[in-house]
Amino acid sequence: MKPRIIERASPAHRVWQMVGWAILIVGILVLAKGQPNYRLLLMSNAAALSVAILGLNLVVGFSGQISLGHSAFFGFGGYTAAVLIVDHDWPFLATLPVAAVFGGVLGFILGLPALRIRGLYLALVTLALAIVFPSIAKIDQLNDLTGGANGKPVPVGWHRPSWFPLKVTQQGWQFLVLAALAGLLFYLASNMVRSRAGRALVSLRDNEIGATVSGVYPAGWKTGAFAISAAYASMAGAMLTLAIPIVAPDTGGFVLAIQLITGLVLGGIGIISGSVVGALAIVWLPELTRSWGKFLPLFSENKTALLANAAYGILLIAMMFVMPGGIMWFVRFARSKFVRFVPRLPKVSSLDEDIEVGPISAATVQQTQGGSA
C-alpha cells in the first residue's frame, strides 16, 4: 500500500494540524481534571522540563553545538524568579521575561567560547558550568539571595481564579498554566526554526564553510543560538517555581544536566515535538520502573529503588537500539508508511504560457538585421 502524500501548508495539512492540536488540548484538559495531585505534579514538572529541553535542542539539534551546562541556566532562572517573588513581591508571570532576559545575556557571554572551540572541548567547558553552579549557590555571601544549601522557598500562591470554567484542583491549575506557557514557547520556537534564522542555524550545522560563503555570519548566529537557548532554559527554571515552591543548589546541578541530555536524545535531536516526549520520558520512566519493581519476586521492597535504576538504564539502552533517532523519529518513520508530508513546490509555468508572441513586423526584422550587421 502506497502512503498518502500531503503537501505542507495545503488544506489537508491544515486539517491534520488542527486535529492534532485539538487532541492535545483535550488531553491536557482531561489530565488536569481527572488525575490525582501527585501525577499532576509530575506533569507540571514535565511541562517545565520540556521547555528546558527545547532550549537545549535549539543549540544542539539546530545549530550543531554541544552544551552540557543548560542545567545551570535552569537553576539561574529558578533563583531569579525566587528573588523577585520573595524579596520584591513580583507576580509569577512578571518574573518569566526577566528570567529569560538575564538567562539570555548569561548564555550570550558563555557562548563566546563556542567561537573558538567546538566538539568535546566545548562540551567540557559547558559541563564545568553545571558542576560549578551548585557550589556558587552555596556561597555564604549569597545566603540572603539563594538561601544557602537549604535552598530558597518560593510561595507563589497563585490560585485558580473564580472565572475559570473548569473545576480543577490547585495542582491541576498549575499544570494548565505551565502547559499553556510551554505551548506558547513551543509555537514561537517552531516559527523561528522555519524562518530565516532557523535556516541559517541549520546551514551552519550542516556545512559551516558553505554557510559562511553564502553570507551567514557564524559568530553572530552561534552566540545568538546560545543566548536564545539559555533564555528558554532560564524561563523553564522560573516556570517550575509555580509547581515546586523551592529552589535549591541541586536544581541546576550535574544530575539535571544529564537528564536534559537524556531527554533530548530520547525525544529526538532536531525535532521540536521531541522535546515534549523527552521530558515525559525522563519524568515518567523512573516512576514507572519503581512501580513495576515491586511486582518482581527477586527484589524486596527496600531494593526497589536499586532495581528502578537498573531497569531505567537497560530501558534507555534498548530504546536507543530500536529508535536510534529518538522516539519522535521512530513515530515519524512509522507514520511515513501511511502518510507523508512533502514541501509544496512552486508552480513553474512554461514559456508559452508566460510570453505571448505576436506577429513580427517588417520594420522589426530590418532593425534586427541592421543591429546584427
pLDDT tens per residue, range 198-241: 888 888 888 888 888 888 888 888 889 899 999 999 999 999 99
Residue 158, domain member (yes or no): yes
Residue 136, domain member (yes or no): yes
The strand pairing partners of 309, in sequence order, are: none
Residue 65, domain member (yes or no): yes
Burial of residue 253 (number of CB atoms within 10 Å: 0-12, 13-18, 19+):
buried
Q: Give the residue, 351 or 111, on which the prediction is more confident.
A: 111
pLDDT of 165 strictly over 60: yes
- HSE (side-chain half, CA atoms, 13 Å) at 329: 15
Residue 298, domain member (yes or no): no
Residue 305, domain member (yes or no): no
Q: Which pLDDT belongs to residue 304?
A: 59
Rounded distance, CA 119 to CA 123, Å? Answer: 6
| Section 34-51 average pLDDT | 93
Residue 309, domain member (yes or no): no
The CATH number assigned to the domain holding 250 equals: 1.10.3470
Residue 336, domain member (yes or no): no
Rounded distance, CA 347 to CA 315, Å? Answer: 48
Residue 121, domain member (yes or no): yes
Which domain covers residue 70, as residue numbers? 4-288
Percent of the chain with pLDDT over 90: 39
Domain count, the chain: 1
